[in-house]
Structures are given as C-alpha cells and as structure tokens.
Structure 1
Amino acid sequence: MNISQKQKSILTILVIGTFLGFLNQTLMNVALPNIMNEFHINTGTGQWLTNGYMLVNGIMVPLTAFLIQRLTTRRLYLAAVGLFAVGTLIAGFAPNFTILITGRMIQAMGAGVFGPLMNVVVMNLFTPDKRGGAMGLIGLALNFAPTLGPTLSGLIVTNLSWRFLFFIVAPLIIANFILAYFLLQNIGEPKMLKFDFLSVILSSIGLGSMLYGFSNAGATPWSNFTVWGFIIIGILVTALFVWRQFVTETPLLNMTVFMHREFVLAMLINVVLMISMYGGALMLPLYMQTVRGSSAFISGLVLFPGALITAFLSPWSGRLYDRYGVKYLTLTGILITALGTFILSTLTLITPFWIIVSGQFIRQLGLVLVLMPIQTEAFNALPLSLMPDGSAMFTTVRQLAASFGTATLVTIMTKSAMNYGATHKSFLDTLIQLHGIKTTFFVAALLMLVAAALTCLFRNKAPIDRV
C-alpha cells in the first residue's frame, strides 16, 4: 500500500497510542494475584483493575463522537494521550489500591478516545480502495495488543514487580505524546456543535450499568441484583438515551447510522466475534492454570503464537479486503475460527501442548482474517459525515459484546460444570471444570457458525467512493 509521508506519520502515531491503550485492557490479568497480596484485597475488588478500565473506557466512547467533531484532531489526541500518561504514572507509583484504581480510571478516560478517533482519521485520510490496508495496520493495535497483554504481563511479573507494567508503558506513551505534539496534523474542520449534557448523563448511566452488570456476572450468579438489576437498569436508561437522540436537535450520537444495511450487518457479525474471542481467550488460561496446573507465564506462552500471527497478518487482511471485498474473506475467516474453537472443545487432562497451541493459533488465524475487514466494511457503508457517530457506535457495541460475551461464556462454563458434577459426583473437581471449559468452547464454535451464516447476507462488492 503506497501512502504519503504525512499519512505514514499520522497513522504511526495513532497506532502506537491505540496499541498501548488496548494493551492495558488485559495487562493486569496475570498480575492480579501479586497486587492482591500486596494490598490485601480479594478477587472481587481486584478484578476492577480490568473491569473498571473497560467500564470507564466504554462510557467515554459515545462522548468521543461529539469530541471528534467539536475539537481539532491534534488537540483531542494530545489531551487523550496526556490523560493516559498521567494515569499510567499515578498507577505505577500508587502507594495503595485506591490510588492504583484511580490511575487506571484516568488511563481509561484517555484510552477511550484512541480507537474511535483513529478510525475517523483513517476514513478521512484514505480513499475507499485503500482503507482496508490502512485498517489492517490498525489491527495491530486492536487485535494484537489484547492478545499480547497476558504473555507480556506474565513475563514481567515473573521477573520484576507488577509496577513495571506501568513503568514500561510510561516512557512509550510520553514519547508518543512528544511525537504527536510535533508531527500530528489536524484532519477535517471542527464544528460548533451544542453539547447535550443530558445525553452524556444517560449514556454514562445506561452503558455503565450494563457493563457493570455483565462484569459482575463473571463471578456472581445472574440471580444477584448486582447482575440482573444493573443490566435491566442499563437497558432502560440506554433506551431513554436512544429516544433522546431522535427527539433532540443536537444528538450526541446520530442514530441514522442504523439505516445503512451493511453497517448493521457488519456490527451484528462483530458482536458474535467479540463474544467468541474475549470469552474464549478467558477459557484457555483457566484451562492451563486451574485444570493443568501450569504457571501464568506458561499460560501466556500458549497464547503467544496466536498473538504473533495476528501481528503478522493484520496488514495483509486489510489488503485482501481491498482486493476481494468482504463476503468470502469474512466467511473463510469465520470458518477457520470455528475449526480452531472446535479443536479446543476436545481438550483433555493430557492433551499435548502442541494441539492446544495449534487450536488457539487456528482461532487467531481466522479472527485476523475477519475482524478488520468487518470493521472496514461497516465504515465504508457510511458517508464521511456520519463517520464519528459510526465509529463511536461500533466501538461501544464492541465493548458491550466483549463484556457480555465474557460473562455469558463464564456462566455457561459454571452451569455446565455444576450439572456435570451433580451427575458425576465421584469425578475430581478438575474433570468437572474441564467439562465446563470444553462445553464453553463448543458453544463458542456454534456461535461462529451463526456468524458464518450471517455473512451470506453481504453484497460482495468492491468498496465505493463515499462523500
């Protein structure tokens, strides 16, 4: 893909920032036991280092649709990177858990801007026939970073203090701020939009409640009010938010994005992919550490080959989209992902490591062929005037799907293990848990087949010019 020096500079700066933001979503998972021991907290409290980050990140995303149009690219990105850098330093030097979680929340406020802003900039910088290649490069940040997080975290925590998870990121994000200050240029012209404060309140409460409820479902029964209660509150308040977007003269999000068929279809397929990807990524470490008794570092290494293929093929997946369109590329990727997931649904107590690694590798190979093409197809379906709203909507639904997917698949695993244990009382706990994990992978594979069926609804056409 031939791009100008200006495009290359802007894309590099944004990819680095977004990569670090998404890396931080999963960087805490392996380090959690060390942090819990140091600050004397339980698992329910400690998990908010990850869940809280995703919660604030998700709340920020709808607001970015307004900020992207209201502020210049340079000013908004510098503010977001600055917040992220400050939060990283606060977390790294935190003397107690309260300060640590505060630093994580500040990080998330900045990181919530990265993804939507980068999508809008790319759509404005590149013509439709080159957007796939550009979005493929973005896949390095969106898809490689969350997969790399557990492996990198395991390596650092095994040899150094958990604080180095922040100390290593801090100079990188500060360097990115300096690069952006001198090299980042404004894309498009800001608009004098009126700020709808009520919409911000409704979206924050609605999305925040849903994400909170889904996050709790991972460790709490769905019958608990902190799960079903907050999910229902979130749905009701989000419905009010959607209603307000139709009746106000200055909507925070333009809901007409849902009038574009290909955008809606791509978003539905992405929901299924997120459920399978994030939920499945949680199952494999559980299998390695609780069933097989492997260390966190070994568990991370099992995921690493899949992370590498994601990094290597992300740019190529975008180019394949530019050349062949979305329909058959997406179908191929989803079927490959389903195959890898079916392989993992056959795990036993003595499954050779090479089969485990191969199953995860095949899953990631399929996902990398489909994730960025699906996102590019969604954005190509929209006119440039709707791009900020479409990007914010797509990212918000992605966050909700990841949170819902994790909670749902954990529930399936737990219920399946309990039912199996009730009928096989003489079996060891590890065998019962193994059954739950295998069932969860099998359900995830079936979901991939549902997504494969949805791809048949795509019109297999080349991207066309948008105004």
Structure 2
Amino acid sequence: MAALLVAGFVGLFSETALNIAFTELSQIFSVDATTIQWLATGYFLTLGILIPVTGILMQKFTTRQMFLTSVLLLLIGTILAAISPTFGFVLTGRVIQAAGLAINLPLTQNVIFAIYPPHKRGAAMGIMGLVMLAGPALGPTLAGLILDTLSWQWIFWLTTPFLLFSLIFGIKFLPNVNEVRNVSIDALSVILSTIGFGGIVYGFSVSGAGWTSAPVLGSIIVGLIAVILFAIRQMKMETPMLNLRAFKYPMFILGAVMSFITFFSMLSMLVILPMYMQMALVIAAFTTGLILLPGSLLNCVLAPTIGRLFDKYGPKAVITPGTILVAISYLIYAQFGTETALWMVVITHIVMMLGIGAVLASTQTNTLNSLPKQYYPDGIAITQTIQQVAGAVGIAVMVSLLSSKQGSYLATGSELPQAVAEGSSFVFTIALVLSVINFVLSLFMKKTVPADVKVTSPVKATELVQDRV
C-alpha cells in the first residue's frame, strides 16, 4: 500500500502544483494564457480518456505489471517535464504523468478491495482519501514555497525521489492480488470511450472561449453522443470493456451521484477560493496556500480515524454529518466579502475539509461494497471516471459563472475586489444548494455488504467474510 499511495500522492500533487506557476511559465515559454492552461487541461483530458479503460486492463494484466507501468510513466513524465526546453516538452511530460496517475488511482482502490475484508475497508479507504485530498490541496502551497526559493523545475525534481522510493518498494513488496483473465479489448469501445469522455472533458475545459462557441458545444455534444453509444455497446457485449451492469445496484447509483456532486464542488472550490483570496482580499499566492494548509493537514491527520468510524458505525453515521459540515461551510463562504478576516477563512476551510474528508472516502467505500467481487474493477473505473469528469466540469462551470457575475458587477462600476467577492458569493451559494442535495441523498445511504456474500444466519456479514478470508 505504501508503494501505491506514495505514487498516487505524487500524481495528485502534480495535478494542481503547477497551476501556481502558470504566469511565470507563460512568460518563460512566450505563450498566451489560453495555451498555458493546456498544462491543466491536458492532465484532466488524459485522466478522462484513460481511466475508463483501466477496468478491463486490471482484468487483463497482473497487479505488478499495472503498478510498474504506472510508476514508470509518472517517473518518465516528471523527469521529461523537469528538463523541458520548450512548452511542448512540458505538456508531453504532463500527459505522460497523467497516464501514470490514470492507472494508479483505480489500481490502488482495486488492491484495497482485494486484500482488505469489508470490515476494514473503511480505514484503508480513509488513508486513500487522505492521499486524494492532500495531494491536490498541498500542491499550490508547496509549489508556492518552491517558486519563492527555487526555479519552477524543482516542482518536478523534488517529487522524483518519492517516485523512486515507490518503484523500489513496489518491486520488493507488491504481490499480484488480482485474478487475470484472458479478455480481449474491444477497439470500438476504446474509440467511443475516448471520444465520449475526452470530448466532454475537453469541451468543458475550453469553455472559457464562451459556452456558445463551436468547439465547446461541438465537443460536448459529440462527447455525449459517443458516451451514449458506448453505453449501448457495453450492455450488448458478453464481455464488456466497462461493465455498466454495476448500475443495477441502488447503493452504487446513490454513491455515484454523491461522488459526482462532491468532486464537482470540491475541485471547483479549490480553484475559486484561492481566486477569491488573491483578488478580493488581495493577498499573495503563497499566503493563500498557507491559509488553506491547516484544513488540509487536519484532514490528513483525521482521515484514518474517519475510516475506522465508518467501519464501526456504518456510512450514515459518518457521511450525513460530513454533508452537514460541507453545507455549513458553503453557507459561511457565501457571506464572505472584501473585509472578511483571514482567521475566518482558515476556520471555515478546516470545517469544509473535515466534511469533505468524512464524505469522500466513506461514500466510495460504501458504493463499491455494494458490488459483487467480479464487478470491482468495473465499479472502480466507473467511479473514478465520474470523479474526474465531475472535477473538470465543476471547475469549468464554476469559474465561468464567477467570471460572468464578476463582469456584471464591474459593468455597474464596482471595484475589482468587490466584483470578485460578489461573484464568489454567487458561486458558493450554488455549491450550498448542491451540498444540501448531497445531505438529503445521504439520508438514504445504507450499510452495504458485498453482494456476493449471502447472510443465512444472524452472524454479521463482515464476520462471514473474515472467516472466508
């Protein structure tokens, strides 16, 4: 697990760490703001294209083969980006990095569900939740510190030793835990998946050009049509690339919807909140990172405990309070203005990260627990795809709404800080509505037992599974 989680942390750290250096990189490589954004767009696009394919790959190749491929891709991409003489090389390195992360995330979840019995999965997924939150959250903070003292290349160089550790540790300790089957990869399914999920992510990622522009509307429409055709084909295949029959389990559907809302709100919040602090409160990028740091660190400390609480008391006891904390945080965010005290931002962000930490890993664990064992690779690929698409769509939609509202206030003669504060308040109000929906959905959450475990006596299902293990 150490080998997998360290590599996953580096990949997720890289997802957001470079964002803070975009202005500097734009000047260094003499490219405009739209072009430099491809360092983020390309990352999301690669994840959106490759993650749906991992479900079948995890059945076709061994755990060690998948692990070595993911870490080597992360390592090659990181080194290539660090030594890049031109923008094209940096972008290529980012795409290779994202390909490694696209394999690592589903693989890590699959290993957790293969080696941990159901009554211990909450704690294990809590650790993974720590990685999934800490990586993106700490990226801008640590990158800001690096840029203040070293060059931008060190954002990549400083992660290289961790990837080497992961590679060596994995070669020594990681066994094959999955069941390899002789399955074929359907070329048409891969093409439809690539066009579908790639088109949707791309369309939303370039929506800054305007929602009515031909590239945006065309990409989204073509993507949606391809996803529909992909789904129809999967339901008709005897051995589908992505088994969508996982959606016949109600708790899986509920968890998938809650995961979409959580990632839609969370990743957009991690973009909007720094923008608000830098433009409305007029504070430096590095200071912004420091303000967000306590919430991220506290979440890291409490993530294993939250996982154990899930194992002991079930999903509703953890997830429902988590959705309440998230809703309270967005309610407070929506009241922020140009005179908001920084200590208030720190405390609200701590509450927000605790709420997200309680919802994120617990929802994923309960969602996948509802499936039979043979559906785990497919369920993991589906949920990971949903999360990446939700993140890309959430950032695009929320930033677009912020810009639109900000422009409206500027047109009335408002100063930029006030306009940004009003726009941020509007966006946080929308996120509040989504968090309330998540709270209502959490009330229907039930503790799930793996669907292939049949309980024929009063003995707890988890004890039955433990006996079988």
The bucket for the TM-score relative to the shorter chain is over 0.9
**Deviation string, structure 1 residues 277-326 (Cα, Å, up to 9, x no partner):** 11111111111212222111011111111110121111111111101111
Q: Which moved more, 1:411-420 or 1:25-34?
A: 411-420
Q: Does 1:104 align with 2:91?
A: no
Deviation at residue 462 of structure 1 after TM alignment:
7.0
Point out where structure 2 has 5 or more consecutive residues left out of the alignment: 451-460
- Contact 1:263-1:379 within 8 A present in 2 as well: yes
In the alignment, which residue of structure 1 is the partner of 2:76? 86
Corresponding residue of 1:157: 147
Alignment of 1:187-206 (within 5 A): 187-206=177-196
Please report how far the alpha carbon of residue 253 of structure 1 lies from its aligned counterpart in structure 2 after TM superposition: 0.3
User: Would you say the 8 A contact 2:322–2:358 is kept in 1?
Assistant: yes
Matching residue within 381, 386, 407 for 2:370: 381
1:441 aligns with 2:428: yes
The residue aligned with 1:357 is 346
Q: How far does the alpha carbon of each residue in 1:82-103 deviate from its partner, in whole angstroms, 9 at most, with x for none?
A: 1110111110000000011011
Q: Is the 8 A contact 2:59 2:181 kept in 1?
A: yes
What is the aligned partner in structure 2 of residue 5 from structure 1?
none
- Counterpart amino acid of 2:342? F
| Counterpart in the other structure of 1:211 | 201
Q: Which amino acid aligns with 1:405?
A: G
| Preserved contact between residue 379 and residue 387 of structure 1 (Cα < 8 Å) | yes
Matches within 5 A, 1:129-278: 129-217=119-207, 219-278=208-267
Check conservation: 2:282, 2:417, Cα contact below 8 A: no
Structure 1 462/248 Cα, relative in aligned 2: closer, same or farther at 3 Å? closer
Tell me the alpha carbon deviations over residues 11-49 of structure 1, each in whole angstroms, 9 at most, x when there is no partner.
111111111111111011111111111101111111111
| 1:110-121 correspondence to structure 2 within 5 Å | 110-121=100-111
Identify which of 299, 303, 314 aligns with 2:288: 299
1:455 aligns with 2:445: no
Checking the alignment, whether the CA contact within 8 Å between 1:196 and 1:250 is kept in structure 2 is: no
Shift of 1:459: 2.4
**Which whole-Å CA distance do the structure 2 matches of 1:229 and 1:300 have between them?**
37
The equivalent of 2:456 in structure 1 is none
Determine the C-alpha separation between the residues in 1 that align with 2:115 and 2:55: 18
Aligned partners of 2:370 and 2:449 also within 8 Å: no
Query: Shift of residue 429 of structure 1?
Result: 2.5
How far 1:416 moved relative to its partner? Answer: 2.3
How far, CA to CA, are the matches of 1:441 and 1:378 in structure 2?
Answer: 27
1:338 partnered with 2:327: yes
Amino acid across the alignment from 1:55? L
C-alpha displacement at 1:328, in angstroms? 3.0
CA distance in 1, matches of 2:307, 2:120: 9
Deviations 1:388-408 (A, max 9, x none): 000000000000111111111
Match of 1:405 in 2: 394
- Residue 276 of structure 2 corresponds to residue 287 of structure 1: yes
- Aligned counterparts of 2:428 and 2:148: Cα–Cα separation in 1: 29
In 2, Cα distance between equivalents of 1:199 and 1:147:
34
Mapped partners of 2:217, 2:317: distance in 1: 38
Within 5 Å, which residues of 2 pair with 1:57-76? 57-76=47-66
Which of 17, 21, 25 is matched with 2:7 structurally? Answer: 17
Cα distance between partner residues in 1 of 2:353 and 2:449? 25
Q: Residue 194 of structure 1 aligns to which amino acid in structure 2? A: S
2:109 and 2:141 mapped to 1: Cα distance? 27
Paired residues of 1:289 and 1:295 also in contact (CA < 8 A): yes
What's the CA shift for 1:184?
A: 0.9
- Percent of counterpart pairs with the same letter? 35
- The unaligned stretches of length 5 or more in structure 1 are 1-10
Whether contact under 8 Å (1:39, 1:97) holds in the other structure is: yes
| 8 A Cα contact 2:8 2:131, kept in partner | yes
SS at match of 1:394: helix
Give the residue type in structure 2 aligned to 1:108.
Answer: A
Q: Is the 8 A contact 2:279 2:416 kept in 1?
A: no
Preserved CA contact (<8 Å) 1:214 1:404: yes
Provide Cα deviations, 1:89-118, integer angstroms capped at 9, x if missing partner.
Answer: 110000000011011111111110011011
CA–CA distance in structure 2, aligned partners of residues 103 and 134 of structure 1 = 31
- What is the CA–CA distance in structure 1 between the aligned matches of 2:48 and 2:399, rounded to whole Å? 21
Amino acid at match of 1:442: T
For residue 40 of structure 2, give the secondary structure of its aligned residue in structure 1.
helix
Corresponding residue number in structure 2 for 1:41: 31
Find the aligned partners of 1:63 and 1:271 in 2 and give their Cα distance: 19
Letter of the aligned partner of 1:157 in structure 2?
L
Question: Are 1:289 and 1:299, in contact at CA under 8 Å, matched by a contact in 2?
Answer: yes
Residues 325 and 462 of structure 1 are in contact (CA less than 8 Å); yes or no, is this contact kept in structure 2?
A: no
1:93 counterpart letter in structure 2: I
TM-score, length-scaled by structure 2: 0.94
Measured in 1, the distance between the counterparts of 2:218 and 2:299 equals 38
* Aligned residues of 2:280 and 2:337 also touching (Cα < 8 A): no
For the 8 Å contact 1:322–1:462, the answer to whether it is kept is no
Matched position secondary structure for 1:95: coil
- Asked if the contact 1:270–1:371 (Cα under 8 Å) also holds between the matched residues in 2, the reply is yes
RMSD, matched Cα: 1.4
Q: Distance in 2 between matches of 1:298 and 1:35?
A: 20
**Change in 2 beyond 3 A, CA 1:461/1:83:** closer
Moved more, 387-396 or 317-326: 317-326
Q: Which amino acid aligns with 2:374?
A: S
**In 2: Cα distance, 1:462 partner to 1:212 partner:** 37
